[in-house]
Structure 1
Amino acid sequence: MHPAVLTNAFEPNELAFLQRFFKEICAKRGVAGDTPAATDIASQIIQLYQRGVRDETHLQIELNGTVFSKS
C-alpha cells in the first residue's frame, strides 16, 4: 500500500494542486484565506479529496452542492 495512504499525508504534487484549488475557490467566493469560512472550505476540499474526489471539476461540483456532516 502507498505510504501516503497509510499516513494521510499528501504527495507534493497533491498538496500543490489542493493549495491552488483552495485559492481559486476562495477567490471565486470572495473569501479571505485566513477566515473561518476559508477554514471550512479547506476542510471540505480535504474531505472530498480523501474520499476519492480528485478531479477539479468534480471537486467544484461537490463543493457547490454538498453539505458535509461531521463524522
Structure 2
Amino acid sequence: MIEPHVSKSGVAYPDDLVLLKRIYDEVCEERGIIPGSPEASELAIEAMRLFSAGIFDEGTIGRRLRHH
C-alpha cells in the first residue's frame, strides 16, 4: 500500500493516481461496471472526491466506493 500523506491542496500525485486507478478497476470489475459508462464516470468522480477530502487510505476509499 502507498504511504498516506497529507495533501491540503487535494493534488493527486502519480503514485496517488496509481492507487486510485487500482481501486477503481477492482470496484468496476466486482460490480460489472463497464469502463467509459456513466456509472464508471460517477465512480471515478467519487474516488477523486474522497481523495480531495483527505481520505488517502486504500481500504477506506475501496469500502466507500463499493457502497457508493
TM range (shorter): 0.7 to 0.9
Q: Structure 2 regions of 5+ residues with no counterpart? A: 1-7
Per the alignment, residue 59 of structure 1 pairs with 61
Give, in angstroms, the shift of residue 65 of structure 1. 4.1
Letter paired with 2:16: E
Q: Which runs of 4+ in 1 moved over 6 A?
A: none
More helix by share: 1
- If asked which structure has higher relative contact order (CA below 8 Å, sep 6+), I would say 2
Count of matched residue pairs: 63
Q: Structure 1 regions of 5+ residues with no counterpart? A: 67-71
Per the alignment, residue 33 of structure 2 pairs with 31
Per the alignment, residue 47 of structure 2 pairs with 45
- Please identify the structure whose Cα radius of gyration is greater: 1
CA RMSD in angstroms, aligned pairs only: 2.2
Query: What percentage of aligned pairs have identical amino acids?
Result: 26
